[in-house]
Amino acid sequence: MMPTEIAIVAGEDSAFAVSPELEGVTLRLAFRWLPRIASWVCLPTLPSGDPFEPVGIQQRVSPNGELLIDSRRTDTPPGRLYFVGSEPVERSDLGTACRLVYLTAAEVEALG
């Protein structure tokens, strides 16, 4: 079993979003670079609605940390999202030295 890597290309943008399909569910992940804390933050939302409906809290991108999504919801992917990489995360590291991976519900269960 190998986790699925989510393609993230920040480029020169300080705010952007990606919308991966994870186990049949599309999720919108909005990233912003916050210069004051010198860190990326990510807010998971559903891809429809105006404004987009959050399905988790905005949180700092932290290598080897989970991107928390409300697991009580039935309209979100059943697996888990994790950032992998090493600290510190510089602005240019997102998608390269710090990557986002998805483990399916079956992969999470197999890990125990």
Q: What is the pLDDT of residues 35-76, one digit of tens each?
A: 999 999 999 998 877 778 889 999 999 998 999 998 888 899
Q: What is the pLDDT of residues 74-95, one digit of tens each?
A: 899 999 999 999 888 889 999 9
User: What confidence category does residue 112 fall into, taking pLDDT thresholds of 50, 70 and 90?
Assistant: confident
CB proximity list for 93: less than 8 A, separation 6 or greater: 85
Q: Which residues face 94 on adjacent strands?
A: 98
pTM comes to 0.90
- The total of structural domains in the chain comes to 1
Number of other residues whose CB lies within 10 A of the CB of residue 67: 22
Which residue range(s) make up the domain with 90? 4-111
